[in-house]
Chains A and B, each alone.
Chain A
């Protein structure tokens, strides 16, 4: 037992030493008493799948956001403060997300968590962020959980929620593929369930539905079942890796169908890379999005983002993930500008609730005191001749029974210097 005691004592010493050094590291909040904010710096953190089953494509988002912040910092920052963006890898594993978010909040003392990615991952930290009163803004997922202002007053979404998206995609299917057998494959969590809810609101019960888990990279049985059921249209609520896997598996078993894919799983650049020589399988793929597409060189936002990408992101291969990451960065800078010089956590939240943000989006941002969901609509896109392009007009709707209607307001043009003005 004496050795147990000496081991414990040694542990105590180590812990105390670590505790002291941790104090020095985390206590740098300067004069103000807002965590993560000093006169010269705003510290913001995020959790992202830089490795693991969802890393394909998504790992490029946070570096793009950081690049946009670096661009803003190089131009004087926000109210004289530079934004530091701390990116933590959670491998799309909810258990790891718990760890890294605690580290960001308790040890690094970040001002806010920005754009934490993933439905299953981020769902697990909602309560923790709430009890610590950390603003949890622009979550990188379309789950409806982010839109619960009463329960989680500090949490705001960014993506079009999966139910809204499901309704828009299903409306297109209903109009153009009438009478066809429509089936569904989705992730076995709120992502898949919300998406299916939207689809079934429009189409009624689907002919067959299957699900997958990211920890098991095989959709052979699922695609086999869909083929067996005679599906002609397959709607996918999948992350990019599993979209590619589904397309490849279907081709392998000789299953031909029209694939209609959620925005989060349909970036052509990511899919082509995953499929390699089989990239032509993406031909005809229908999806939707609410941000300018990376291939649209005429769009002023794309021109801005390409400039930032070249100057601050090592000229990374430009795809929709980068467009997404920079749009998140733009919206966050917009919110900080609007929140003013005296930045507080409560101030940021009430500023976002005031809403009225104009940016690159094709659909409206709906933030208000009783609506914390992100974009409220999407425009359909199709892959033709190896290029993903929009067609038709943007649509908007809600996650309830509102009809899917055209949204005609044109998107705003970016400011001349690419940085939102203080208001």
Chain B
């Protein structure tokens, strides 16, 4: 019997296909306007954080489809992000200075590479269940530094590669803040991802995902190809992780194995659980938490006056502790995650 990771509560029927799709599009446009306004209101560092949320959202959205809707646990999404990020670095280096379009090529290449990697892992994953699946994906996550130092001619070991990114287009004005441009880039990726995933999971594919998660035998009897669904879920989720990793490379203008440690993969899983497993709204909450909690921990260590030695110890560990506490509190108060909390009264 497979281990089911997701709550079985929200597998209800979905709205009819046509109006649903149009509504997704409308919401996405509204969200895009919101982000656009935000990017003008926020100071540069907040814009950078906003961009980081966008990059995380690509990954958490993909992961929540895999883990929440299809019940496959992946502890290796950090490695798939690394695949995307390194691809961007290598492609950008080859095409540097030819114009803005190279970034699109690099990001598409990143998605292709991550998808291919995801397909390989997914093929193996479809044969594994529960802890064995977790073990396999964990091994993938641990591989990254070893690959980077074994092929150090290409990946430059722990030091990593720098990523060439063009400055914002001149058409936007000479004084256009770089961080706003980064926020735009990241959220174009994030909103497209959410739109595509929302459309995808509200249709036949989404039903198949949930059916496989809830009962493989029943799904098979109903004519769903279980193995294919599982591999496809992994591939879709890997493509999202590749896009997220690519955006991270663009934001940081560098890639290194240290940016994709095992803890990142674990944090991603924790984030979607806290946010609300299986819902894209939960993925948004998760992405926000991934940025907000470490920042919060940092400002806490900054504001309390303790000896340098204690501050030093808090610095590295407080985000972990905060994440743990948040996980416990949310699971106690709202087992369905933050996204399952609904305001009692509708507010305007």
Q: Are A124 and B254 in contact, with the CB atoms below 8 A?
A: yes
Task: List residues of A (193-240) whose CB comes within 8 Å of B's CBs.
Answer: 211, 213-216
- Chain A residues, CB < 8 A from B158: 94, 120, 188-189, 213-215
- Shortest CB-to-CB span from A15 to chain B, Å, is 6
- Chain B residues, CB < 8 A from A23: 43
- Chain A residues, CB < 8 A from B145: 213, 215-216
Q: Are B38 and A215 in contact, with the CB atoms below 8 A?
A: no
A98-B252 in contact given A7-B281, A131-B178 (Cβ < 8 Å)? yes
- Shortest CB-to-CB span from B44 to chain A, Å, is 4
What string of 1s and 0s marks CB contacts (under 8 Å) between A1-26 and chain B? 10111111101101110110011001
- Shortest CB-to-CB span from B43 to chain A, Å, is 6
Complex Cα distance, B51 from A15, in Å, reads 12
Known: A4-B198, A96-B258, A106-B43. 7 other contacts (CB 8 A): A6-B281, A11-B284, A16-B42, A63-B308, A124-B162, A189-B156, A215-B145
Complex Cα distance, B337 from A282, in Å, reads 55
- Chain B residues, CB < 8 A from A1: 20, 23-24, 27, 198
Q: Are B258 and A93 in contact, with the CB atoms below 8 A?
A: yes
Most chain B Cβ neighbours within 10 Å, of A6, A63, A211:
A6
Kindly state the interface size class of chain A when it binds its partner.
35 or more
- Chain B residues, CB < 8 A from A91: 316
Q: Is the CB of A50 closer than 8 A to any CB of chain B?
A: yes
Contact of A127 among B23, B31, B159, B253 (CB under 8 A): B253
- Chain A residues, CB < 8 A from B152: 188, 211
Closest residue of chain B to A59 (Cβ to Cβ) is B312
Q: Are A190 and B159 in contact, with the CB atoms below 8 A?
A: yes
Q: Are B280 and A4 in contact, with the CB atoms below 8 A?
A: yes
- Chain A residues, CB < 8 A from B162: 123-124, 127
Q: Is the CB of B192 closer than 8 A to any CB of chain A?
A: no
The residues of B with any CB-CB pair to A shorter than 8 Å are 20, 23-24, 27, 30-31, 34, 38, 41-46, 48-50, 53, 145, 149, 152, 156-160, 162, 167, 178-179, 194, 198, 252-254, 256-260, 279-282, 284-285, 288, 292, 298, 308, 312, 315-316, 339, 342
What string of 1s and 0s marks CB contacts (under 8 Å) between A67-91 and chain B? 0000000000000000000000101
Can you list the 4 inter-chain pairs with the closest CB atoms, starting with the nearest? A95-B259, A120-B159, A106-B45, A189-B159
Complex Cα distance, B53 from A128, in Å, reads 20
Q: Are B312 and A3 in contact, with the CB atoms below 8 A?
A: no
- Shortest CB-to-CB span from A195 to chain B, Å, is 14
Complex Cα distance, B43 from A200, in Å, reads 49
Q: Is the interface of B mostly helix, strand, loop or mixed?
A: helix
Most chain B Cβ neighbours within 10 Å, of A4, A9, A124, A190:
A4
Q: Are B258 and A14 in contact, with the CB atoms below 8 A?
A: no
Q: Are A12 and B38 in contact, with the CB atoms below 8 A?
A: yes
Q: Are B38 and A124 in contact, with the CB atoms below 8 A?
A: no
Q: Are A11 and B53 in contact, with the CB atoms below 8 A?
A: yes
Most chain B Cβ neighbours within 10 Å, of A1, A128, A216:
A1
- Shortest CB-to-CB span from A134 to chain B, Å, is 13
A22-B34 in contact given A98-B254, A120-B159 (Cβ < 8 Å)? no
- Give 25 CB contacts A-B under 8 Å: A1-B20, A4-B281, A4-B284, A5-B31, A6-B281, A7-B282, A7-B285, A8-B34, A8-B284, A15-B38, A26-B43, A51-B316, A89-B316, A93-B258, A94-B160, A95-B252, A107-B43, A107-B45, A119-B159, A127-B253, A188-B149, A188-B152, A189-B159, A211-B157, A216-B145
Q: Are B279 and A3 in contact, with the CB atoms below 8 A?
A: yes
Q: Are A19 and B160 in contact, with the CB atoms below 8 A?
A: no
Closest residue of chain B to A94 (Cβ to Cβ) is B256
- Shortest CB-to-CB span from A56 to chain B, Å, is 13
Q: Are B284 and A7 in contact, with the CB atoms below 8 A?
A: yes
Complex Cα distance, B270 from A267, in Å, reads 41
Closest residue of chain B to A87 (Cβ to Cβ) is B308
Contact of A94 among B31, B254, B282, B288 (CB under 8 A): B254
Q: Is the CB of A103 closer than 8 A to any CB of chain B?
A: yes
Q: Is the CB of A133 closer than 8 A to any CB of chain B?
A: no
Closest residue of chain A to B296 (Cβ to Cβ) is A18
- Shortest CB-to-CB span from B287 to chain A, Å, is 9
Q: Is the CB of A345 closer than 8 A to any CB of chain B?
A: no
Q: Are A19 and B259 in contact, with the CB atoms below 8 A?
A: no
A9-B259 in contact given A94-B254, A214-B158 (Cβ < 8 Å)? no
